[in-house]
Amino acid sequence: MKDKNMLMIPGPTPVPAQVLQAMAKHPIGHRSGDYSKIQEEVSANLKWLHQTAQDVQMLTVSGTGAMEAGIINFLSRGDRVLVGCNGKFGERWGEVAEAYGLNVERITAEWGKPLDPAAFQEKLAADTEKQIKAVILTHSETSTAVLNDLETINKAVKEHGEALIMVDAVTSMGAISVPIDEWGLDVVASGSQKGFMIPPGLGFVAVSEKAWKAYETANLPRYYLDLGKYRKATAKHTTPFTPPVNLVFGLQVALQMMREEGLEAIFARHQRLTQGTRAAVKALGLSPFAPDDCASPAVTAVLPTGIEAEAIRSTLRNKFDIAMAGGQDHLKGKIFRIGHLGFVCERDILAAIAALEATLQQLGYEGATPGAGVAAAAAVFVG
Ligand SMILES: *Cc1c(COP(=O)(O)O)cnc(C)c1O
């Protein structure tokens, strides 16, 4: 049916009508007082969301642009960095770092498993000459739906004392607590089309005082993504280059909605959505790809047995207008992923699970009792 598309992918995520309406206006001049007022409010709310007293820098980029800004502003050619790789986005960190001539050492884990904090701890403890300049990792690894243990890995970085910690929080920001100042995270990157409830096009980078010190001596080439330019402008409630003003209108409203809901309530909602989805998947005889104790709060990857992941996705799309994501790289065709990030409520999960059950029925899957998935999700939501 036309205009009934339901986005259940881990980005872009659904956008509230209020946000869409806020964006459907003529742009205003970005050097105007009216724009500065909006940016001042947005800046304050970004700090609140990021749990930091530092200004959060806003760039016109996708999430990868925010990651690249993190690499090029605080490191120098040949710097030794540890990169956590247990999925597509961890590998992307490694690729960006290598593209800029950094000396990358990967700490890997099998896709679907979390990074082992002890592996970081060992490398960092052995580095008595303090050559490791940064530890770089993905918090919520969207490709496998695994949440890495950022808190424990960060403790090892703090014991080292020298290295910066750089985090891809693209699908954890706005889904689970990322207490930037409390933990002392140095560079935290995220993107608008994930937990922010607005369309793609904005990237965000939070930067610690320690990282700003590293900025002074970092020597990689930078221009458009030179965060020093943004820092100066943000302090004056403006931007170095033309921002996507209509997206910022949307961001203003989305952040107001988030403040109204409250951080704790937002995190608790994502927790319930995750638990409900996982309970339903298990009740249907399908396996969540990530273990329970490291489940992403933004997305659930499902490993179906005796039934094709891509057949499930195409039936959901064609018959029920529901978009779920497929697997990436070697997981293509093996898993499918249910996004539950941002503007998603319990009703959306119940609807998606009911449609998934009907899909399984249509495809002749006999591993589940009809209704079992919805009942399991409902038990989480009303329990
Ligand atoms: C979506 C995503 C990104 C950014 O991807 P873009 O396509 O550049 O926006 C980065 N990291 C993770 C974990 C993501 O989920």
What are the distances in angstroms from CA 382 to CA 198, 351, 357?
Answer: 29, 15, 20
Nearest CA to ligand 1 atom 4: 63
What are the distances in angstroms from CA 270 to CA 176, 198, 264, 275?
Answer: 7, 17, 10, 9
Section 204-231 average pLDDT: 98
**pLDDT for the residue 97:** 98
Cα of 64 from ligand 1 centre, angstroms: 6
Nearest CA to ligand 1 atom 6: 63
Rounded to whole angstroms, how far apart are CA atoms 173 and 150? 13
Question: pTM, whole model, 2 decimals?
Answer: 0.98
353 CB less than 6 Å from ligand 1?
A: no
249, 205, 225, 179: which is closest to 57 by C-alpha? 205
Q: How confident is the model at residue 54 (pLDDT cuts 50, 70, 90)?
A: very high
Ligand 1 atom with the shortest distance to the CA of 67: 10
Please give the domain boundaries of the chain with CATH numbers for all domains. 6-12+263-382 (3.90.1150.10), 17-260 (3.40.640.10)
73 CB less than 6 Å from ligand 1?
A: no
Section 372-383 average pLDDT: 96
Section 204-230 average pLDDT: 98
Ligand 1 atom with the shortest distance to the CA of 298: 15
Tell me the per-residue pLDDT of 83-98, one tens digit each, with 9 for 90 and over. 999 999 999 999 999 9
As a whole number, the mean pLDDT across the chain is 98
Cα of 79 from ligand 1 centre, angstroms: 24
**pLDDT for the residue 383:** 80
H/E stretch holding 188 reads strand 187-191
Q: How confident is the model at residue 334 (pLDDT cuts 50, 70, 90)?
A: very high
Q: Which residue has the tokens 């009703």?
A: 347
Section 108-113 average pLDDT: 98
Rounded to whole angstroms, how far apart are CA atoms 228 and 215? 8
Section 112-131 average pLDDT: 98
**pLDDT for the residue 118:** 98
**pLDDT for the residue 90:** 98
Section 119-125 average pLDDT: 98
Section 152-175 average pLDDT: 98
245, 195, 228, 185: which is closest to 37 by C-alpha? 245
With the most atoms of ligand 1 within 8 angstroms of its CB, the residue from 92, 115, 171, 299 to mutate is 171
Ligand 1 atom with the shortest distance to the CA of 193: 9
